[in-house]
Amino acid sequence: MKIARTFTIDYNLYQELRKKPNQSRIVERSIRRYLSADEDYSISEISSKRLLAVLSQRGDISPILLNAIQFELLHGFK
């Protein structure tokens, strides 16, 4: 069962959250993580696109892999 509640948050946080799909799910997961004192996160929670973007910024990957990542970021994920 779900229940609607009203809470106050910083305006900047609201601005970021309103850009995201399924805001209720984001808030629910965040609260569950907070209440369980689980500050770790699962790597599976991070999108592949974001992982590739972060990986592309590292200096310890080969130029071939970097080209493949950049191609995927530009042409994949449609």
Instruction: Tell whether 12 and 35 lie within a shared domain.
Output: yes
Q: How far apart are CA 50 and CA 47, in angstroms?
A: 5
Shared domain for 32 and 55, answered yes or no, is no
Give pLDDT tens digits for 25-43.
Answer: 999 998 888 888 756 667 8
Looking at the structure, tell me whether residues 48 and 24 fall in a common domain.
no
52 within domain boundaries: yes
Burial of 69 (0-12, 13-18, 19+ CB in 10 A): buried
> Is position 47 within any domain?
yes
**Core vs surface per residue 43-53: b (16+ CB within 10 A) or e:** eeeeeeeeebe
In tens digits, the chain (78 residues) has pLDDT values of 888 889 899 999 999 999 999 999 999 998 888 888 756 667 888 889 999 999 999 999 999 999 999 999 999 865
Q: Which domain holds residue 13?
A: 8-40
The answer to whether residues 60 and 47 belong to one domain is: yes
pTM: 0.48
Together in a domain, 36 and 13: yes
